[in-house]
Amino acid sequence: MNLKALIAPLFLSAVVSTAQVTVTTFEGIDASTDPLSVYRVDPNGAVGTKQYLEWVDQAYQGFDKVTGAQIWTQTQKASTPFVQNNLTDCETSGGNGVILFDHLALRWIIGVRVGSPPPNGKGYFYCVAVSNTDDLTASNFAWYTYEVALDPILTVGSLVGYPDYPRLATWPDAYYATFDLQNPSSGFRTVGVAVCALDRNHMLTGAVANPAQCFRYPQMPNNVNFLQHTLLPADIDGTTPPPTGTVESFVSIQNPTGTNTSSTQLNLWQMHVDWNTPANTTFTGPTPITVAAYTPGCYIVSSPTNTYCVPEPSSSTTHDYIDSVGDRLMHRFAFRQFPNYQSYLVSQSVAVNSTRQTGIRWYELEPSGSTMTVANYGTISPDNKYFRFVPSLAQDKVGNVAIGYSGSSSALHPSIAGSYLNLPSNSNPTEFLILMGSADVENTSFWGGYTSMTVDPVDDCTFWYVNEYLTTNQAGSTRTWRTRLANFKLRGCQ
């Protein structure tokens, strides 16, 4: 009997039978339309007022929200906005990009890391493009572009660190970017983090921006594993800003220390920026946030960032496993201002049993004095068969939460699924299928290092999610990955 043929329909039945959601999907960027044809995908994007803008590792494409039609004839290289504006430091290929839609200003934002260290390169830069309109098809559409030289914040003595895994978020007083600081001389061990506030007000008008204000933690990183890495900056959903003066918050994981395999802590960091008097700008943390015990997905005490344990049907012969990216919290740290309270959401991949199966842990955090506490949380793992990983979540205007993620097992090709729940009614999560994969990635352990769930700024109800999958086994030197955009609305939101 064909085990895959038997198990996969069971997964489909399990996730669809109780779902009360209608999902519409469009094909996104794939390896055949990627101008650089890379192995690493990192699919993310955001929904705007008129289009969806998607990113893969070094390219982007816009899609009509109604028809799914591509905006540009060809997928655009990541360098396109910077080439158009002769920003030469940003014209090389760049990775780990993030696309956001600024809900308060109705503009697109692209952030991407580029560069290489001297003497062969000019150093590292964080390059940001901000659109002049919310319509990618407007006749006057253009990008305002900016660069931040990162070497000053990356350099410690003779060490020029590598700025890995940058995250980006929108807040009223700045765009905030975070970076993992890695040591190239020790196998790119993560030894600290860096944070920068970018001058949002001037960037929105194309004016000359004030210099970015950046901090590094620790001030003098050493060559040990930094277990609090990958700070996620709070990113606004909806059109209601936080109260004036609300500082930007960041969260990070607290990977287990010593010989422990579990943790009961996340970390809160905060930044107050003063553009008039930069000396008054502050960056504080880490402050512990106590949470229910968790073991990061695929966690190994001796190698915290080695999180490759998610099986595929081909794993029994190739012995290759997918990266759960369980050593960090996952994009985005989604903020929403309600009339009477503030809600911050974040998610991660965690181990759910002794076989290392991974599930999705989610948290709702609320401010409490100078820190945050857990208002709600849960773990999504409705069976003992499937690994769920690389989640992303968002919340609509009535408190519905949607979480998208990948699913895979020795009997299930990597697929795309989601769960939804309602926070005000404290409902249990309901899982639903977005797309059933039909092939494996066999020539790399890279899977999406992050995905993204965002909410339509027009109705503040419709969720949009992007992730990757395969229809043909990716083996040898081939690249056959594909991405899919999905949108849906949940009950009670009009």
Find the mean pLDDT for residues 444-460: 94
Judge residue 280's burial from the number of C-beta atoms within 10 Å of its C-beta, 0-12 exposed, 13-18 middle, 19 or more buried: exposed
- β-strands 232-237, 330-337: how paired? parallel
Would you say residue 493 lies in a domain?
A: no
Question: Given a cut of 60, is residue 409 above it in pLDDT?
Answer: yes
Would you say residue 494 lies in a domain?
A: no
Token pair 């909410």 in the structure block, residue = 455
CATH number reported for the structural domain that contains residue 72 in this entry: 2.130.10.10
Do the beta carbons of residue 374 and residue 291 sit within 8 Å?
A: yes
Question: Given a cut of 50, is residue 6 above it in pLDDT?
Answer: no
Would you say residue 167 lies in a domain?
A: yes
Give 324's contacts (C-beta < 8 A, 6+ positions apart): 297, 298, 307, 308, 309, 310, 349, 358, 387, 389, 390
**Looking at residue 398, what is its pLDDT?**
98
385, two tokens: 């068969």
Distance, C-alpha 252 to centroid of its chain: 13
**Looking at residue 220, what is its pLDDT?**
83
Question: Given a cut of 50, is residue 16 above it in pLDDT?
Answer: no
**Looking at residue 10, what is its pLDDT?**
38
Would you say residue 463 lies in a domain?
A: yes
For 218-235, give one letter per residue: b (16+ CB within 10 A) or e.
eeebeeebbbbbbbbbbb
Comparing 19-28, 47-56, 210-219, 339-348, the range with the smallest average pLDDT is 19-28
Give 405's contacts (C-beta < 8 A, 6+ positions apart): 360, 380, 388, 389, 390, 391, 392, 416, 417, 418, 451, 467
Q: What is the pLDDT of residues 365-385, one digit of tens each?
A: 999 988 999 999 999 999 999
Percent of the chain at pLDDT > 90 equals: 87
- Is residue 184 classed as helix, strand or coil in its secondary structure? helix
Would you say residue 315 lies in a domain?
A: yes
Would you say residue 44 lies in a domain?
A: yes
Question: Given a cut of 60, is residue 17 above it in pLDDT?
Answer: no
pTM of the full structure: 0.95
Give 317's contacts (C-beta < 8 A, 6+ positions apart): none
Would you say residue 65 lies in a domain?
A: yes
Find the mean pLDDT for residues 161-167: 96
Distance, C-alpha 318 to centroid of its chain: 28
- β-strands 232-237, 358-368: how paired? unpaired
Residue 479's domain comprises 3-488
Find the mean pLDDT for residues 93-108: 95
Nearest to 384 by CA among 14, 2, 6: 14
**Looking at residue 19, what is its pLDDT?**
54
H-helix segments, 105-191:
151-154
**Looking at residue 9, what is its pLDDT?**
41
Question: Given a cut of 90, is residue 357 above it in pLDDT?
Answer: yes
Do the beta carbons of residue 301 and residue 260 sit within 8 Å?
A: yes
pLDDT level of residue 93 (50, 70, 90 thresholds):
confident
Q: What is the pLDDT of residues 101-114, one digit of tens each?
A: 999 999 999 999 99
198: left (phi over 0), alpha (psi -120 to 50) or beta: beta
Distance CA 213, CA 493 (A): 39
Percent of the chain at pLDDT > 70 equals: 96
Would you say residue 29 lies in a domain?
A: yes
At 15, which helix (H) or strand (E)? helix 3-16
**Looking at residue 369, what is its pLDDT?**
86
Nearest to 50 by CA among 442, 458, 475: 458
Backbone dihedral angles phi then psi of residue 81, each to the nearest 5 degrees: -60, -30
- Is residue 9 classed as helix, strand or coil in its secondary structure? helix
Domain count, the chain: 1
